[in-house]
Amino acid sequence: MENLKVIVADDHADSREILIEFINHLPDVTVVAEAVDGKEVVEQVLSHRDVDAVLIDIRMPKLNGMEAIKICLEYVPQLRFIFITGYDDYAVEAFTISATDYIVKPVEAGRLYKALAKVRERKELANNNRNDSQRMIIKNKKLTYYVPINDILFIEKNGKEALVHTKDKTYVTLETLDSLEKKLTSSFYQSHRSYIININKISHIESSGRTYLAYFLDYDKAAHISKHRIHTTHQKLLR
């Protein structure tokens, strides 16, 4: 069974210690980081983008837990999170942003384990459906786009942003290439450290100095293919 990676966030050390003690009894769950305020939550999530879930209090210094999670979701939209708080008056808002669970303190081990089981179920469901997914969710600040995966020509890293190119529109997101690649089907290939291409949409490839350029039907812009990955690209095109 694949290990779950979690971040524990609470401004009270004793609360963090209780959660970590419970989690330490689970062989398939690992605490990869702790946070004592909302700002640190964001920093830790950005440092551990492959984290499966954040266990987070709501009333914390600098940024409350709700605000911190909303920021994290701009960068890691697939992030799962469990609110663990002494107050029940945030539950409605928590579930409007798709919280996996909402636990009111004091926390019992069995209740926490049920919440973590939900995290695993959602992760496995997402993995099983990834290749069959018809649309990709792309978030940019307050906007959420649902883009048909088959419409994507290529994805390009541009500084801290990623540009998702379709024939009709280019979408801008703060997600990393690694994060976006996890949502794609097997027809996509990372041809360069800054590019992911849709093999099925390539019309032709052109040599350009030390690199190669992939062109797409009815689209002017090209994606780069590194010389180290051109052979694999050719092989994928011939399948």
| Tens digit of each residue's pLDDT (9 = 90 or more) over 47-83 | 998 899 999 999 999 999 999 999 998 888 888 999 9
* Residue percentage of the chain with pLDDT more than 90: 59
Quick one: pLDDT at residue 49?
Answer: 84
Rounded CA-CA distance 160/154 in Å is: 17
Given this model, what pLDDT does residue 144 score?
Answer: 87
Superfamily per CATH, domain 135-238: LytTr DNA-binding domain (2.40.50.1020)
Contacts of 79 (CB under 8 A, 6+ apart): 45, 51, 53, 54, 69, 72, 73
> Closest by alpha carbon to 178, among 199, 155, 198?
155
Helix (H) / strand (E) element for 221: namely strand 219-226
Average pLDDT, the chain: 89
- Residue 88 gets which letter from DSSP? S
Residues with Cβ within 8 Å of residue 72, at least 6 apart in sequence: 41, 42, 45, 46, 54, 79, 81
Q: Residues 124-139: pLDDT tens digits?
A: 776 665 544 578 888 8
Rounded Cα gap, residues 126 and 118, in angstroms: 12
238, two tokens: 């011939």
- pLDDT band of residue 210 (cuts 50, 70, 90) is confident
Quick count: other Cβ atoms within 10 Å of Cβ 72? 24
What are the backbone dihedrals phi and psi of residue 52, each rounded to the nearest 5 degrees, phi first?
-85, -30
Buried b (16+ CB within 10 A) or exposed e, 209-224: eeebebbbeebeebbb
Task: Report domain extents, the chain.
Answer: 4-130, 135-238
Cα–Cα dist 42/69, whole Å? 8
Q: What is the pTM of this model?
A: 0.60
pLDDT, greater one: 121 or 156: 156
Rg over alpha carbons for the chain, rounded to the nearest Å, is 20
Q: pLDDT at residue 113 above 60?
A: yes
Superfamily of domain 4-130: Response regulator (3.40.50.2300)
Indicate whether 179 pLDDT > 70: yes
